């Protein structure tokens, strides 16, 4: 895909790997390549699930490239534009019409944490440090962290993480619902790919509508959410995969989905 982001596709699973050693920090070039990668995968017929990871042993992503910050200091509107650019990437992943799994290891800090929060599921290695340490620079998370983290783990826990800037452990992250699974060191990508392969065998039209129903419903009232669910439920009943799935169940055989 590019010099800083690598994409491989196998058996319905795309692996998007950040390759910006040694800490895979987020800079404008990395952000642009990630955005290009996800946009290209959105309509890829051979991709059902995406796994996002960081190359190397030290970090998934250790945050933003602080060297890019000085030009925004004391310049009204400059940091707003920076944040909006980051939001475009995070929103692209958040609203991506296919499941996205983050494989986390090492340091997952700042912009790396916000990138992980934009994914649907998170698989985390033991020993991983996750946090939003921006407060230590006299600033705060500006790539969606103040919005996505409280929705995931609750307002009080999220505020404590952001007020103190202290990273949390993998086990704390698991207990708080920040990550879905904790696996041994060196196994995050393997475990994420195994989970992705399991999901990739399902129907993409149904997967996409589950994601839409949950994401949009969580922002709405229960009445609006259940109406949306009913509309998407009706849509999925018009797909070839739904006919195949129901027929296969009645005929007591394995369903063979074509993602249509």
Q: Where residue 220 sits, what CATH number does that domain have? A: 1.10.12
Q: Which of 186, 183, 189 is nearest to 171 (CA)?
A: 183
Whether the link from the prior residue into 22 is cis, omega within 30° of 0, is yes
- If asked whether residues 218 and 131 sit together in one domain, one would say no
Residue 233 covered by a domain: yes
Distance separating the N- and C-terminal Cα atoms of the chain: 27
Check whether residue 150 and residue 230 sit in a common domain: no
37 three-state secondary structure: helix
The percentage of the chain sitting over the pLDDT mark of 70, rounded to a whole number, equals: 100
Q: Based on the fold, state whether residues 180 and 212 are members of the same structural domain.
A: no
Residues 80 and 172 in one domain: yes
Query: Residue 161's closest CA among 179, 176, 171?
Result: 176
CATH of the domain at 83: 3.90.226.10
Q: Measured between alpha carbons, how far is residue 46 from residues 155, 236, 259 in Å?
A: 39, 20, 10
On the question of pLDDT at 1 being above 80, the answer is no
In a domain, 255, yes or no: no
Share of the chain above pLDDT 90, in %: 93
Query: For all residues of the chain together, what is the average pLDDT?
Result: 96
Query: Sorting pLDDT into bands at 50, 70 and 90, what band is 2?
Result: confident
Residues 91-103 have a mean pLDDT of 98
Could you give the number of structural domains in the chain? 2
Supply the pTM of this predicted model: 0.95
Catalytic residue among 114, 126, 219, 244: 114
- Whole domain around residue 63: which residue ranges? 5-200
Neighbours of 248 (CB within 10 A): 14
Specify if 256 maps to a domain.
no
Residues 163 and 185 in one domain: yes
> pLDDT by residue (tens digit) across 11-33?
999 999 999 999 999 999 999 99
Q: Kindly state the average pLDDT of the residues 168-176.
A: 98
Query: Does residue 215 sit in the same domain as residue 131?
Result: no
| Residue among 125, 134, 219, 251 flagged as catalytic | 134
Answer yes or no: are the C-beta atoms of 53 and 102 closer than 8 Å.
yes
The residue from 178, 200, 222 where one domain ends is 200
Q: Is 235 a catalytic residue?
A: no
Residue that terminates a domain, selected from 158, 176, 200: 200
251 as an active site residue: the answer is no
| Cβ–Cβ < 8 Å for 39, 60 | no
pLDDT digits (tens, 9 = 90+) for 48-68: 999 999 999 999 999 988 888
223 shares its domain with 121: no
Q: Is residue 259 part of a domain?
A: no
**pLDDT band for position 116 (cuts 50, 70, 90):** very high
């Amino acid at each position: 895909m590019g010099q800083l982001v690598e994409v491989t596709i196998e058996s319905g699973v795309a692996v998007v790997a950040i390759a910006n050693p040694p800490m895979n920090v987020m800079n404008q070039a990395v952000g642009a390549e990630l955005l290009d990668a996800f946009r290209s995968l959105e309509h890829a017929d051979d991709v059902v699930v995406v796994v996002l990871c960081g190359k190397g042993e030290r970090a998934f992503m250790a945050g933003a490239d602080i060297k890019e910050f000085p030009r925004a200091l004391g310049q009204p509107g400059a940091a707003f534009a920076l944040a909006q650019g980051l939001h475009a990437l995070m929103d692209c992943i958040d609203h991506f019409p296919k499941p996205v799994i983050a494989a986390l290891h090492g340091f997952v800090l700042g912009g790396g944490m916000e990138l992980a929060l934009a994914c649907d599921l998170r698989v985390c290695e033991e020993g991983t440090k996750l946090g939003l340490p921006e407060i230590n620079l006299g600033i705060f998370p500006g790539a969606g962290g103040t919005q996505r983290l409280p929705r995931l783990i609750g307002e009080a826990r999220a505020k404590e993480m952001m007020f103190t800037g202290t990273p949390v452990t993998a086990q704390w992250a698991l207990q708080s619902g920040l990550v879905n699974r904790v696996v041994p060191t060196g196994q995050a990508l393997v475990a994420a790919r195994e989970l992705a392969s399991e999901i990739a065998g399902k129907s993409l039209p149904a997967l996409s509508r589950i994601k839409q129903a949950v994401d949009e419903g969580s922002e709405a009232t229960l009445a609006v959410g259940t109406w949306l669910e009913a509309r998407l439920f009706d849509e999925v009943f018009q797909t070839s995969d739904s006919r195949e799935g129901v027929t296969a169940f009645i005929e007591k055989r394995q369903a063979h989905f074509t993602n249509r």
